[in-house]
Every structure is written in C-alpha cells, then in structure tokens.
Amino acid sequence: MKEDRAITAVGILAVILALLMMSVGRFIMGGITLLLAFGIFWNRGGGTRNDRSIYEKIIKTDLSIADIYEKIRDLDTPLGKPWIAEHKGFEGDSIVFGPCSFKDCVVISRGKKYIDIKHVTRLENIIRKDDDEFRFENLVDPKEAEVTPARYAVFAGFKLASVMLVKHLAELIGNLSAEGDAAVPGSLDFYRFYYHNSAEGYFRDSDGNDVLKVETSLRPFTASVLDTDGNEMASVVPHAFDKKGFASESAGFELLSDGEHFGEIRRFKDARGEGFEADTDAGLFVIKLFPSCMKAKISCNYTIEHEGELKAVIGGSPNLLFEQDGWCRNDIVNSYDDDYLVLYAVAEIFILTLNSKFLK
C-alpha cells in the first residue's frame, strides 16, 4: 500500500499549497493547484485502500501465518497450492501461491497488526529454500519471449486471474478471522480461458480452438457473437443513436438471443460502482468495472455476476502493435462457469466496441 499512501500524501500537500497560495492573494495559482489536488484524489479513487488496489489487500487480524497456513494448506488455485517462504519487507514466514509460467505469485505476509495479501512478479523478493527452487524453473520472461496476440492474451489472463485471487483470498482470510471455523473450499478460482483478437475475429480457448466468431463495428454499431458456422447466437442493439451515428448509451441497449429479445442492458453508476446491468430472461447480470490491470495493459476489466454470484472476469486492451498481426485489440474472458459463455463474450465485445473510441 506504499503507492496509495504516497499518492494520498501528494494530494494533501497539494491542497495545503493551494490554501497557502490563496492566503497570500495568489488566487489563480491557488485555484490551479487545487484543481491538481482534485485530479490526484480523483485518479486515486474513493473508498478504502482495499477498494482502490487490485494488487494488494490488508486484513486486520490477530491470525498468524502459521494459523492461516494450517487452514489453507490444501487449497488448490490456478497458481497451485500454497507453500512457505519469506518475503523481503516482512519479518518471518510468508505463504506463497505460484509462480505460474509468467512469474505471477500471490504472497501472504504478516505485518504488525494486519495480514498483507499481494500480487507480485519480482521473484527476487521471495526468499526460498533450495528445495523449492524447482518451482522457479521454466519460467517465461515476457521481455524476451516472442509476443503474439495469443501469448499476450494468456499473459494478461493470468494477471486478471491473480488479482481476483488476491481479492478472494482476502475475503477468505477475513472470514477465518471473524469465524475460526469458517469453511475453506478445496479449490478456489479455477477458470476456463478464452480470448479474441480483432485481427482474426474468433474467440478461442486456451488450446487455440475456435469457439465463437464475433462481428464488431463502432459505426454503424455492431456487437454480435456467432457460432463457428456463422449463425448468430447473440447480439446487442442500441435503442438510439446520436447525431454523429454513435450508439446513445442513455437510451440503453437490447440484448438478443438467436434473433429474439432476451433482455435489456443499461449503464449504472451508484454506490456499487459503475458498469452495466443486463436484465434478462435468465435473471440479472451485473457487469461491474474494477480498476485497470495495468501490469497487463488491460484498461477495461469487468466482473460479471449472475444473481450475486461471480461467473466471469472480462478484460480488454487498447490496440497493441504485434510484429506479425499489426495493430489489434485483445479481448479476454476468464470463465468460472461456462453455462453463460455466449453472454460473457457478447458483453465483452459490446463494452470494448462501445469504448473503442477511447482505446487508441
């Protein structure tokens, strides 16, 4: 949370400086500085530090690392089961999940009055025994590996999975702290991975198999998902357009399934955050924005919940330049339940197409 504290401190100093300037009659410079302070706090975000950070959470608890490890030692995750090491910056043992092939780890450490759960990729900060060196073999260095849309998508998918694992481990440890006998699942956050890059027009699974075909266009607005034979399965249609021909978000959108009305989609921004609600024949889907996953250049990431249960995490990059494919956008779906895969896919391309005028 060092970055969060630093940003907060800079914002406070900017406010103090603005007030000092105004106190000596320099109202214009004071006003400019006050606007700067407002921008700092706006970009930092509101809520608690845990709300603002997707990479690190803190839980105030008396539980020790040994207590937590005893309860979760058999918990399986996409980064594997936990093991014990040390982490620079913290005293004593830490619990480590990972690393995966792209160096993602989640580390749980003990502070003075809290437990720290953090996503890390700087493996040199993990102090381990010789017997654990095998865990660090055959890792991919993203800076040296050939980057293709498919490899980038897998890389980004692991980043999204890791930040969700941080969130869910924090919730689990919070429950263990509140209720010593809280249930611990046998596994957590296993998902199926799908990606689409705009140069080719197909959603593919982790094995590279074509699963769905997509058609997208900002103007005229098109966001459709088809089967691999070209039959439309789902689409999103704006209810109205503005004078420039762009979809009017305030008017909402119709969600079609097999050409028939299936639901309505509207943007929301309230105490829950912001995103979209899809009120469908299958129930309410809440598609909520969470902070950008900048370690993977993912700037549009959303969780999809159905009747309060997490079903998928979707993310999209701006246009990136690949040597063989040129400029293209990557869409990613980490699916925790494939029953609504077509809906996740159409939600992803709908949002990324809607936002494409900002994703340059």
Q: pLDDT per residue over 3-42, tens digit each? A: 555 556 666 777 787 777 777 777 777 777 777 766 655 4
Indicate the average pLDDT of the chain.
Answer: 85
* CA dist., res. 221 & res. 7, Å (int): 39
Q: Read off the pLDDT of each residue in 208-218 and give the average, rounded to a whole number.
A: 90
Q: How far is CA 339 from CA 49, 282, 303, 309, in A?
A: 34, 11, 16, 13
Domain boundaries, the chain: 2-45, 56-178, 192-354
Q: Are 17 and 33 in contact (CB under 8 A)?
A: yes
Question: What residues does 235 pair with on adjacent strands?
Answer: 224, 256
Q: Tell how strand 330-335 and strand 309-316 pair up.
A: antiparallel
Say if residue 125's pLDDT is above 90.
yes
Query: Whose structure tokens read 């995750």?
Result: 77
Residue type, 254: E
Q: How confident is the model at residue 244 (pLDDT cuts 50, 70, 90)?
A: confident
Residue 358 has pLDDT above 90, yes or no: no
144: pLDDT strictly greater than 80: no
The larger pLDDT score, comparing residue 321 to residue 202, is at 202
Longest dimension (CA), the chain: 72
DSSP SS3 for 83: strand
Q: What is the pTM of this model?
A: 0.80
What DSSP designation does 338 have?
G
What is the average per-residue pLDDT within 133-153? Answer: 83
- pLDDT bucket at 98, cuts 50 / 70 / 90: very high
Give φ, ψ of 5 to 5 degrees.
-65, -40
Contact 276, 265 (CB under 8 A): yes
Q: What is the pLDDT of residue 298?
A: 58
Residue 36: per-residue pLDDT: 73
> Considering only CA atoms, which of 126, 164, 171 is closest in space to residue 290?
164
Choose the weakest-confidence range: 73-77, 121-125, 309-313, 320-324.
320-324
